[in-house]
Amino acid sequence: MSDEVIIQTKQLCLQSGQRYLLRDIDWTVKRGEHWLVFGMNGSGKTTLLSTVAGFKSPTSGKLEVFGQQYSNQNILKLRSKIGWVSGSFFEKCYSHESALHIVLSGLFGTLGIDFSITDGQIRQAKALLRELRMGDKMDMPFDFMSKGEQQNVLIARALIANPEILVLDEPGTGLDVYAREHMMRTVRELAEQRQATVIYVTHYPEEIQPFLSRTLLLQNGRVFAQGSTEEVLTAETISSLLHEPVIVRQDTEGRVRMVLDAATAVGDICYTGREV
């Protein structure tokens, strides 16, 4: 792991009207670190990551990516180094665009494509889609696809530019068992072999893989806790975050399990007492 800081926020705030979606976020990510971002619905996870990925602008505070603040001169180049998978964001942008079109847009840091696309890039996009079992859906419009297929297209979009930072916002949502295992393996390989920095947002503890060694907990747009996953994902901290008693343990493969007696907190997490 290097000491090079590739994401740094200081007192980062993002307001919508009078309401703070993010407030005073101080967060430093070094090259090669792999972060879990965990929090309840509405805690600011997607907003924080879309800001870091350059798709939203902070209202105040400092945001540096690869040592640079976003500007009109560098934003597309910086964005192309960040592979961003977020169904909740991209479903607002894409509707009838084809899978191939969407994957190719990842090369440019934009949502549309560019005249400069080469045959090699088209072959690369098709190979990625085939790898994600989307070979027969390359020309399909985004809105013809299931949620899982849309997620696979966004994963291919994120991977095509060999990103230095891979941001995955609930990537397992809508995927079937095979696709989710494949996605998790792909992410792990990227983290371990290509040395991409991974930032992984999930609601599902079973997706928390051992390589996610750092954790950021968010609550109501603020940092609730951050540090090594071992130190942060404790029964005490998670119970305090959820306002309910939680038991945290690891299975034999090192994946985190949480047991929650949520009979009184169904409205918060839609879960009642089984292992998650």
Partner 1 sequence: MMSNNSVNQLFCSENRVETLKRRAKRCRCKFCGGKLSVKRISLSEFEDARIELYCDACQQIEYGVEPEIYQSAENFVDNLEFNHYPDLDQNPRTRRMNIAKVCEIMAWGFKNTGLLTEDGFTAPVTCADHSLDQCLIITEDELAAETEA
Residues 63, 41: Cα–Cα separation, whole Å: 23
- The answer to whether residue 76 forms part of the interface with partner 1 (CB under 8 A) is yes
In this structure, are residues 62 and 9 in contact, taking their beta carbons and an 8 Å threshold? yes
- The answer to whether residue 200 forms part of the interface with partner 1 (CB under 8 A) is no
- The answer to whether residue 75 forms part of the interface with partner 1 (CB under 8 A) is yes
- The answer to whether residue 88 forms part of the interface with partner 1 (CB under 8 A) is no
CB of 74 to partner 1, least distance (A): 8
CB of 41 to partner 1, least distance (A): 20
CB of 217 to partner 1, least distance (A): 25
In the complex with partner 1, the residue whose CB is nearer, 40 or 122, is 122
In this structure, are residues 100 and 89 in contact, taking their beta carbons and an 8 Å threshold? no
Residue among 188, 232, 268 at smallest CA distance from 38 = 232
CB of 33 to partner 1, least distance (A): 24
Instruction: Give the residue, chosen from 32, 61, 141, 245, that forms a contact with partner 1 under the rule CB under 8 A.
Output: 141
- Residues of this chain, 164-193, that bind partner 1 according to CB under 8 A: none
Bridge partners (DSSP) listed for residue 214: 35, 228
In this structure, are residues 222 and 236 in contact, taking their beta carbons and an 8 Å threshold? no
Instruction: Give the residue, chosen from 9, 38, 44, 54, that forms a contact with partner 1 under the rule CB under 8 A.
Output: 54
Residues 221, 150: Cα–Cα separation, whole Å: 27
What SS3 class is residue 157?
helix
Q: Which stretch binds partner 1 (CB under 8 A): 108-116, 148-156, 182-190, 202-210?
A: 108-116
Return the structure tokens found at 242: 């959820």
CB of 124 to partner 1, least distance (A): 9
CB of 14 to partner 1, least distance (A): 10
Residue among 66, 58, 55, 57 at smallest CA distance from 31 = 66
Q: Which stretch binds partner 1 (CB under 8 A): 91-99, 171-179, 198-206, 248-256?
A: 91-99
Residues 97, 108: Cα–Cα separation, whole Å: 16
CB of 250 to partner 1, least distance (A): 37
- The answer to whether residue 116 forms part of the interface with partner 1 (CB under 8 A) is yes
- What is the DSSP track for 10-60? EEEEEEETTEEEEEEEEEEEETT-EEEEEE-TTSSHHHHHHHHTTSS--SE
Instruction: Give the residue, chosen from 21, 48, 65, 113, that forms a contact with partner 1 under the rule CB under 8 A.
Output: 113
Q: Residue type at 229?
A: T
**Residues contributing to the site for partner 1 (CB under 8 A):** 54-57, 70-72, 75-77, 79-80, 93-97, 101, 107-116, 139, 141, 162
